[in-house]
Structures are given as C-alpha cells and as structure tokens.
Amino acid sequence: MHDLPCASSCSGGDVPDGRRRAFLKVLPAVTAGAASLAALPAEAAEGAKPHWGMLVDARQCIGCQACTVACIMENVVPEGSFRTVVSTYAVTTGEGAAAVTGTHVLPRLCNHCDNPPCVPVCPVGATFKREDGAVLVDGERCVGCAYCVQACPYDARFINHHTGKADKCTFCSHRVEAGLLPACVETCVGGARVFGDLNDPKSEIRRLMADAKDELKVLKPEQGTRPQVFYVGLDPRLQGKVDGTQTPALSGLTWQPKSHGG
C-alpha cells in the first residue's frame, strides 16, 4: 500500500509511514456514544461505519504551531481566527524557594463531542453530527447568529468574518473522505496527534489509548459533552483550561493568539 502524500500545507513534520498505512485500513466501527469521557470505546457491530477521533500526546508536543499554520493554509482560515491552536502556559510547582516554573502546552481544537451542546441551540439546524463522529456546519443553512459559538465550552467556534458563518475544526473531513489524514496530524513535527477510527480495536489510536488507559483525559469532563479528542500527558491543572484566565499555580499564558482561540 502506498504512503499518504503530505498535505500542501506541510510545515516540515512527517507522520510515520506505519501511521499512514494504518489510517487507510478501515475496519469495523462503532455506533455513536461508544467513547464516553476518557473511557475506551466498546467494540462495534461488524460492518458499521468508522467513528473518528483524535489522541493528543502533550508529552510529544513542542508548541511549534506547525498544526496551527497547516490548518490555516489547508482550510483558508481568515486572519485572527483559528480552528486549532496550541496554548502555552507557565505552570509553577512548589512554593517559596522550592518553587519551580515550567512550560506546559495545551493543543486545542473542536472536540467533536458525542453530546455536542452546539447542535441543539442552532435555530436552523445548521450544526449537525455525522455518523462518523464529525461535528460540522452546513454553510448554506447557517445564519451567523453565533448561538453555537456561545454554547461551546471549549471556545472552539467562531464567526468567520469573510463568510459571516459559524466556523470550526472539521477533522479535515474533505481530506479524510479522500483517504488522507487531517492537515494538523500530517504536519505535526513531534507526532503528537494521532487520528483514527475509535471503534477499530486494531487501529493505532485504539492501541495507544489502551496502553495509556490510566492516563487518558478529556477537557472539561464535568460538562458531559463526551469529547472525542483525548489527551495523554496533560497536566491535570490544564484539564479545565481553554482560555487565558488564570488559576492558582498557573501564571497565565506565555503565548496565545491575538484574538480567537482554537
């Protein structure tokens, strides 16, 4: 089987060949709701469609923003807006003379929730969740009311000031349908992002999630949104962070976009 070609927005990082080949091998998938919070998905009925998700290994992320740039180029995201971004925090451990401050990163994007709060608030049904797990916006229906932007607890949506419509990460559904990886995954320098079928027990994402099952986290689990973006190696103090507000032990963002966050 041939390797996947690099996205036109490639920023210098290469995804391992095995990951490309594994992505193309689509096996039985699950029904919606199989991946709940940070629990491993259950096996799906034979012949079911894929249910896409992403695993982010914060230990491998170097905060280079290659994913951010790749996404902007691939999806023609307007200046000042972001479908994905890596926020960088200064985190202090200990007190007084023993205090140590280190840098921690938080890659952010739409969580493609299995219980997306953005869907029921849309007055025209423009936001919807597909059978494959992707939460998308129908630009023909969207009236730009921004109800979905306000409903998202992850600050993952914005109103595109070129189109006047709601905009967000789509898991690069146009690339996935063509057998390619999302642009942010294809260009990740550290290989920190893994995309695949959450219901294929033989997929790389399922294998890595099983290996790290005691360390898996999702952002804001108390919201009950059942995110399909999972994290490994995420500092627990960042688990509820999606913006620039400060909390104890967090000295704030050391880098953030000029306007909208991922």
DSSP single-letter state for residue 218: -
At 179-204, the pLDDT tens digits run 999 999 999 999 999 999 999 999 99
How far out from the chain centre does Cα 133 lie? 12
In the structure, what pLDDT confidence band is assigned to residue 261 with cuts at 50, 70 and 90? very low
Decide if pLDDT at 257 tops 80.
no
Do 17 and 181 contact (CB within 8 A), yes or no? no
pLDDT of residue 248: 39
Q: How far is CA 14 from CA 10, 69, 178, in A?
A: 8, 15, 19
Length in residues, the chain: 262
pLDDT of residue 171: 98
At 206-238, the pLDDT tens digits run 999 999 999 999 999 999 999 999 999 998 888
At 100-123, the pLDDT tens digits run 888 888 999 999 999 999 999 999
Q: How far is CA 35 from CA 41, 44, 110, 206, in A?
A: 4, 11, 16, 11
Decide if pLDDT at 16 tops 70.
no
Q: Whole-model pTM? A: 0.77
Greater confidence (109 vs 255) lies with: 109
pLDDT of residue 18: 54
**Cα–Cα nearest to 250, from 235, 233, 237:** 237
Give the span between the Cα atoms of 230 and 98, in whole angstroms. Answer: 32
